[in-house]
Each structure stands twice: as structure tokens, then as C-alpha cells.
Structure 1
Amino acid sequence: MGALGRVLLGLQLCALARATHKIWVPNTDFDAATNWSQNRTPCAGGAVEFAADKMVSVLVREGHAISDMLLPLDGELVLATGAGFSASGSVSDPDCSSGGPALFRDPDRFWWYDPLLWRSGDEARGLFSVDAERVPCRHDDVLFPPDASFRVGLGPGASRARVRSVSALGRTFTRDEDLAAFLASRAGRLRFHGSGALRVGSEACADPSGCVCGNAEAQPWICAALLQPLGGRCPPAACHDALLPDGQCCDLCGAIVSLTHGPAFDMERYRARLLDAFLALPQYQGLQVAVSKVPRPSRLREAGTEIQVVVTGTGTETGGAGRLARALLADVAEHGEELGVLSAAVRESGAPVGGGAAAGLAGGVAGGVAGALLLALLLAAALLLLHRAGRLRCRRREAAVPAPTGAPRGFHNPVFDAAASEEPVRAREGGLGSSPTATAGSTSRSYFVNPLFAGAEAEA
């Protein structure tokens, strides 16, 4: 790695070492084009209109010449230094000579549970978060930028968001009483709305192995907000046998590595290892990895947590995620003890849809031919054994005697004496690292490795 690469990696590791915090992205600024009906700020000399029944706080950064303005019944315009309004009776921009007034878009369209509206303060290139963890977790610090106006919907019904702290309007709230007083004030009501509740006061995550996000109960709202532009439905995955990681709303293509960890495991150190030893390599460019602590699946007998490592690609190349997942298994086999990893297992999605169909068809045809040849050989061997034992005799066609009515046709074959099972084929279950149940015909693959028995790898 070059000097520049080492500097960038150092900056990424410094970001990882900071406390986790989530930053609110959208705003209700007057000068933001996306806040207006025509995706442009009001024209000079044009009319401006706010919905009468919408509460909103709007930050104005620049000077604007307008003909008239309709204000909401309850709202505020916050003027930055040098900002202001002047009257103008004529429109100077020819593109604005026709049409009605510029309409300020609905400020209530932004919701706390929408993953697209948050940015993680400790993002590093190559790392991402599953959907449930893109929304603030219970141990996160939440920051609303002090140089922007905003309005946040806290969700429907009895939904309740809980975080470590909230910073807004130059204040940081770490106690429920202080935050509740702010939310009940006029400044708070202009910026937060909805029947949901917001609580603070959680402790920072003090476990070096990481902490569970705590958004499992809110995931239905998170997914509903994320998929609302898509009509509430997930887009089809671009591969067969796609995977659904814990905390993700829709299936994805790639691989999931599950790590059983011991007390020596350090989440941030492992993320740094992924960045330095794997994602920095040319063969893994274009891949993204999400690392988080999740509850152990209920199919396993022992309760507790495990480390979920999700590997997915951003380009058209489909095999890189599987290669990286198997490289992580080999890394555990060699360095598991020093990493604090007791065992590891991996699940991979199937072949890509479309581009990989020909390869899958060719593989199916080859497998079918091989199976037919094997069946023919077994049948020939069975006939030979029966003939030598005197249980099968050959007759000339002209000497053949019609079989009596009701006589059984065919012959008893000792090679195929066992009755075929009607149960679907299932992958191994039961201990740490076992793969989930799979039915016959599935093309997904699972691997298991235990560093105490380095090199032992099974494929299901």
C-alpha cells in the first residue's frame, strides 16, 4: 500500500474510533431547490406560497426579491446574516414569466424511520450498514446540523425511538426531562411532529465486541418508509437464492459470514482488519461489507449473539463476494484465536439472473447426462446379477408367452429395494455454524470452518 493509501486508511481508522453518531440529512431551507414545487428556488419578482396548515421553520440564507408571499398560520422564517426580502413588481427571469406562485413542498414528508434520510458520522469507504442500522440505534448520538432548518416526523401510533443523545439548535439533550421540555416548546413543535415518542439517556456501547442496534421492533416502519417510493415492494434480486441478512429489508446477492466470538473479539479492530487486509486489495474492489452484532438465529439451540458480516457487490461482477467470504473463513482458520473468533460459517447466494443463466443451464444439462449414465450402468449391473443367479431368463420373440391377466410386470431389483424418501433434502442443523434448512434444488452454498480444527471445511 502506498503512502497515500496509508494516510487514507489512517483517516478511516480515526473515524471508526470516534463515538458512533447519525446525522440528519434533509432540511427545510428556503434556498434549497428540492424544497420547491418546480425543483428551483423562487424566481426574482415571482410569488411565493406556503401551505397555510403546515407548521415549519425555514432558514433563509440569501436575499430574495418577490412580488408577494403567503405565509403559514404557524411558522417562522429565520434570516441568516445578509439574508432578506425585497418587493419587486416584475419578473426578471423569462423562464418564470408564466405559471403560478412557487409552492413550498410539504415539510411533513421527512420521517425519522427513513434510512435514506440519515448519514453515519463514522462511514468508511467499503463499509455500509444494513437498513435497520442506518436509522439511529439505541447507543447512537443524533445530530441535527446547526446551520440548517429541519422538520422531522417521529412516526405513527405508539412508535418510540430511543437513542443516547440528541443535539439540536446548539443544545445536546441526554436526559428525558430536558428533551421532553424542548419537544413541548414552540421551537420543538416547529421541528418535530407526529404521535411517536423520542427518548434519550441510553448508555454508550461499552462492549468491545459491539452492541445489538435495538431497532428490531421498529424495522416494519423502517422498511415501510424505505420502500414507500417503490410501492411498498422490494425490487427483485439479481440472483437466484438471494439472502436476507438480519436488519435488511430486501433480499440481496452476495454472502453472509457468521462469526461466533469470544471475549477477546474487538468489533472496531475487526472492521479495521477488513479495510486494511481485504477491501484494500485490487481483487476486492467494488465490494462492500457490513459488520454488526445481531441476535443468534432462533434455529440454533443456544441463545446469545453473533457477528454478522454481509458481503455484497456494487458492480456487475458476481463472484467477488463469495471469494471474499471464503477468504474470511480462511483468515479465521489461521488467525481465529488472536481475533477472538471461535468459529465461522458462510452462506452464499446463487447464480446471477440473466447473465448466469446459461452457465446454470449448462451445469444442469451436464449433471443430467452424468446422472443418466450412472443410472444406466447400475441397471446393467443389476440385470447381469439377476441373469447369473438364474432369476432372469431371455426368450426368443417367437417363443414368448403372453403374461397371464393380473400377473406383475417387470422384476424385483435388489439394487433399488429401498423406498424413495418423500422428505425434502435438508442441510445439516444443530451446532454453531450450521447452515439453514435448504430444500432440494437449491443452489445456495454453505461452508463451515472451526479454527480449532483448521482446514476442516464442509460444503452443503
Structure 2
Amino acid sequence: MGALGRVLLWLQLCALTRAAYKLWVPNTSFDTASNWNQNRTPCAGDAVQFPADKMVSVLVRDSHAISDMLLPLDGELVLASGATFSAAGGDSDPSCNPGAPLLFRNPDRFSWLDPHLWSSGTQAPGLFSVDAERVPCSYDDVLFPRDGSFRVALGPGPNPVHVRSVSAVGQTFSRDEDLTAFLASREGRLRFHGSGALRVGSQACTDASGCVCGNAEMLPWICASLLQPLGGRCPQAACQDPLLPQGQCCNLCGAIVSLTHDPTFDLEQYRARLLDLFLKQPQYQGLQVAVSKVLRDAHTEIQVVLVETGHATGAAGQLGHALLQDAVAQGSVLGIVSATLRQSGKPTTADSALNQSSSSAGLAGGVAALVLLALLGTVLLLLHRSGRLRWRRHEDAEPASAGLPLGFRNPIFDVIVFKQQPSVELPDSAQKVDILDIDTKFGCFVNPLFAGEAEAEA
């Protein structure tokens, strides 16, 4: 039986026992174009170079004619059946345009905690996993290519990684002592490195209602690995009030249904129900659904995440309401005790973004105006208390002088500041106030900067 046949048999056995597994995707093969800095495999006449200070195991499946090869200080080339190396001499392949040496990329770039680098063969179309569950969970079996070369960085999370078993280089490790001995060997050090620790021997998930993944404490490091190509930042969600499901690194647009359940609830049957009764309907074809058990406030619940992969049409909210109705109608049969729904807001469009920018600009302008008014009022109050500025009620003011007002042009504000008029003695029955005569038809106001000068001239 070939390697592919053994892998398929192993996957079938996992499916029969309902065991969950994660498959490692990248490799360090000589014949994989993405492992080279020019995204192509070596051509005839190429000079190839490996990082001198990196340990690596490289599988070679094809035959290659090269002009030069610089090997690492510690590593190995594993030649598959029929693979050979020969000297190219003066012959070269002009279609490859050989020139500078072809560099093998850093083999230490692949991290265990990167969700991009794992695959689950049990994932049905229309279903996905939140980011924390894309990395192997504590109850998962981990499978590395039997006949392939790979290198995995462990860590830098604070706790050891726990899984049920690890299958690599033709062996399956389900006991810690066996795995520890392998990792300490040269064969293990060529394939696993880093400051983290790997442990095996966890129990398989035997609860029909599902099991909590166990990667909550690792989520910050999982998100850091996931978002590294994006500069560590999540992309902007294309909706208002987006949602952040538990175990997810970035906000999503859609809906989240939370289910509490009794011991009769079956997680796999509920997933199958979603696929058969809902996701196959035309109005829900553009949705992706993640269903898993999560820990919230010391209690477990079933989290159903509904995400619209294309342009938001409201289908996620519609399906969320349909699942609530289904929980009410069939809850006693499905083992559902209660259900709640959360939805994101409307899609973000260019018009809405423009309106939000306008609103933000208007709000900023209003705040600035209020601050200026407050400062002006404070200055006027201080000048009044110091005696440099006085006022009285408008109805008690003296008539304005005929002709042009006695004032001067303020070069700063281009308004007229009036001279302060003398105080008026009123009868004893009347309140004595000081006045500042302002002709309101000119739309002027007192400039506190020149109030002292105006008072002196009076």
C-alpha cells in the first residue's frame, strides 16, 4: 500500500471512530516552488543555496542538474526513489534565466500556532472553524506527512501544547515519554524546534454534545501568527457593529446564535441538521457556519457563527432567526434549552462612510466652537471682576451718540471696538450699574485685549 493509501486509510479510521484530527500542510521539499526565494524550483545550471545556520530536512523527489550547491552546517537531503543530482556544466535552461543563486527560504518560518498551516479533512462544505479551533485542540490527533519533509516551530505560548497523539516519520506518539525521546533525537530536532513544549496523551472527545477546544489561553499567540502577514492588524469589517465570536481573532459580519442544552444534545447531529435543512436552501448558499462548544462565564454553551462570505444581504440574520424558531419548535427533541441571537449592523458603503466622516467633522467643529466660547466667557468674567470691564442692562443705557461711534478698527478681528462710556448716577430707587454702550446695529463686541486702552481714553 502506497503512502497516499495509508493516509486515506488512517483518515477513514478516524471518521469511523468520530475522532478529530488536524493535518499539517506546509513542507520543506526541494521540489516545492514556494520554498525558494524566486517561487520556482531550481533549473538546469542554477546555483542553489541553503541557510547556513538553519537545521533542515529536505526531501528531493526529482532529478536536478545544478552548477553549485551550498549546504547548511546541519541538515539532510533525503533522496526519494529515482531522485538524483548532477553537475550542469556549461548547459543551462534559458527559460529559467539563471543568474543569482537560488535561495532556499528560512525553514523556521512555519509555526504550530499559525491557523493557516493546518487542515481538517472532516470539514464539510459550508462549515468552518473559528481561529482557535483551526489549530490542533487538546482532543485532536495530529498528522504530519509520512513521506514528506517538514519543520515546525513550537511556542512561544506560555503553556505546553496538548494533543491526543502525533503521527510523524512513520510513527505515532501517544505517550509523553516516547514523544520526548523523539524530540530530543537528531531526527526530531531536524523537524521540531523552538521554546515551546509539546505533550500528548490527552483524552479523545467522548461527549456527544462536544468538547471545549482548550486553546483559549493560546489565542493571543494564535492571532499574532495569523495576522503577521497583515502587519498585526485585523482587516476592517464591512459592516456596522461587527461581532467577535469567542475563539476568533477579528470581527465578523453576520450573526451569532448561542444555545444552552441538556445532556441529550448531539453536536454532530446538529451540524448535519444545519447542512441538510438550512444551508442547502438557495437563500443561504453564501453563508459559512461554525458550530462548536465554548466556555463562557464558567458554563459551556454551543456557539453557532453565521458569516456572509460575499456582499452582505442579511441572510445571516435571516438564518439566525430561523434557528431561533427551530429551537423553539424542536428544542425538546434536539436537547436545546434556550437560544439567543446577536446580529451585526448594516453593511458599510461609500455613502455611509462619507456620512460618518461628515458627522465626525461636524462633531469636531461643534466641540471646538464650545471650547472657544467657554474660553471667551472665562476671559470676560475675569476682566469684569478686575474692574476693567463693566456692563449694565440694555434698557437703562444712554442713547448712543449721533454720528459715527467713537471707536477704532481692530486689525486682528476686523471689527469695531467701542470706547467705554462713563457711568451714570441713577436715583436711589434704581440700581446703580456701569454701562458699556455698544451700537448693536454694527454687530460689534468688546475686545478684552483692548479694554484697558479704551478705559484710559475715557
Same fold (TM over 0.5): yes
2:314 counterpart of 1:319:
yes
* 1:100-139 equivalences in 2 (<5 Å): 100-139=100-139
Q: Look up the equivalent residue of 1:270 and give its one-letter code.
A: Y
Q: 2:344 aligns with which of 329, 343, 349?
A: 349
Q: Secondary structure in 2 aligned to 1:126?
A: coil
Aligned residues of 1:161 and 1:197 also touching (Cα < 8 A): yes
Partner of 2:206, secondary structure, is coil
State the AA in 2 paired with 1:51.
P
Task: State the SS of the aligned residue for 2:209.
Answer: coil
SS at match of 1:247: coil
Does the 8 Å CA contact 1:174/1:200 hold for their aligned counterparts?
yes
Larger radius of gyration: 2
Q: Is the 8 A contact 1:254 1:318 kept in 2?
A: no
Residue in 1 that maps onto 2:237: 237
Name the structure 2 match of 1:78: 78
Corresponding position: 1:180 with 2:180: yes
Equivalent-residue separation in structure 2 for 1:292 and 1:308 (angstroms): 6
Match of 2:323 among 320, 328, 352: 328
Structure 1 unaligned regions, length at least 5: 1-10, 365-400, 406-460
Could you tell me how far 1:15 is from its partner in structure 2? 5.4
Note the C-alpha offset of 1:242.
Answer: 0.3
Q: Counterpart of 2:204?
A: 204
Asked if 1:338 is matched to 2:368, the reply is: no
**Which residue identity lines up with residue 304 of structure 2 in the other structure?**
V
Q: What is the TM-score of this pair, normalised by structure 2? A: 0.73
- Retained in 1: the 8 A contact 2:65–2:85? yes
| Matched AA of 2:217 | E
Which residue of 2 is the match for residue 412 of structure 1?
none
Moved more, 305-314 or 154-163: 154-163
Q: 1:157 to 1:137 in 2, by over 3 A?
A: closer
- The residue identity in structure 2 corresponding to 1:59 is L
Taking CA–CA contacts closer than 8 Å with sequence separation of 6 or more, which of the two structures ends up with the larger relative contact order?
1
Q: Distance in 1 between matches of 2:157 and 2:290?
A: 31
| SS across alignment from 2:260 | strand
Task: Supply the distance in 1 between the matched residues of 2:157 and 2:114 (Cα, whole angstroms).
Answer: 16
Q: Is the 8 A contact 1:18 1:122 kept in 2?
A: no
Say which SS state the counterpart of residue 178 (structure 1) adopts.
Answer: helix
2: distance between equivalents of 1:28 and 1:124? 28
Q: Distance in 1 between matches of 2:340 and 2:350?
A: 28
**1:309 aligned to 2:301?**
no
Matches of 1:238 and 1:257, distance apart in 2: 20
TM normalised by structure 1 equals 0.73
Match of 2:292 in 1: 292
**How far is 1:181 from its partner?**
0.2
User: Cα distance, 1:317 vs. partner?
Assistant: 3.3
**Shift of the alpha carbon at 1:158?**
4.0
Counterparts of 1:159 and 1:45, CA distance in 2: 47
Work out whether residues 132 and 216 of structure 2, in 8 Å CA contact, stay in contact via their aligned partners in 1: yes
- What is the match of residue 37 of structure 2? 37
Pick which of 340-349 and 313-322 moved more.
313-322
Aligned AA for 2:225? A
Q: CA RMSD in A?
A: 2.4
Which residue number in structure 2 is paired with residue 449 of structure 1? none
Partner of 1:48: 48
Which amino acid in the other structure matches residue 242 of structure 2? Answer: A
Q: Within 2, Cα distance between the matches of 1:155 and 1:19?
A: 25
Letter in 2 for 1:322: G
Match of 2:89 in 1: 89
One-letter amino acid matched to 1:100: A
Q: Distance in 1 between matches of 2:72 and 2:158?
A: 28
Matches within 5 A, 1:369-448: none
Q: Is the alpha carbon distance of 1:351 and 1:157 closer, same or farther for their aligned partners in structure 2, counting shifts above 3 Å?
A: closer
CA shift in 2, pair 1:91/1:131, >3 Å? farther
- Residue in structure 2 matched with residue 271 of structure 1 by the alignment: 271
Q: How far apart in 2 are the matches of 1:128 and 1:238?
A: 20
Segments of structure 2 that go 5 or more residues without pairing to the other structure are 1-10, 360-394, 397-430, 432-458
Contact preservation (8 Å) 2:43, 2:98: no
In 1, Cα distance between equivalents of 2:291 and 2:17: 15
Please say which of residues 141-150 and 175-184 is displaced more in the overlay.
Answer: 141-150
Listed one character per residue, the Cα deviations across residues 125-173 of structure 1 (whole Å, up to 9, x for unaligned) are 0000000000000000000011311000002264421100000011100
- Match of residue 258 from structure 1: 258
CA contact (8 A) 1:146 1:168 kept: yes
Identical-residue share of aligned pairs (%): 71
- The 2-side partners of 1:355 and 1:157 are apart by 40
Instruction: Find the aligned partners of 2:41 and 2:300 in 1 and give their Cα distance.
Output: 50
Q: Which amino acid letter does the alignment assign opposite residue 242 of structure 1?
A: P
How far, CA to CA, are the matches of 2:151 and 2:254 in structure 1? 37
Deviation per CA, 1:16-73, whole angstroms, max 9, x where unpaired?
9731100000000000000001000011121111111100000000000111211111
What secondary structure does 2:37 align onto? Answer: coil
Write the deviation string for residues 196-222 of structure 1: whole angstroms up to 9, x where unpaired: 000000000011000000001110100
Would the alpha carbon gap of residues 135 and 16 (structure 1) be closer, same or farther in structure 2, given more than 3 Å must change?
farther
| Paired residue total | 349
Could you tell me how far apart the structure 2 residues matched to 1:264 and 1:96 are?
A: 62
2:46 touches 2:99 (CA, 8 Å); kept in 1?
Answer: no
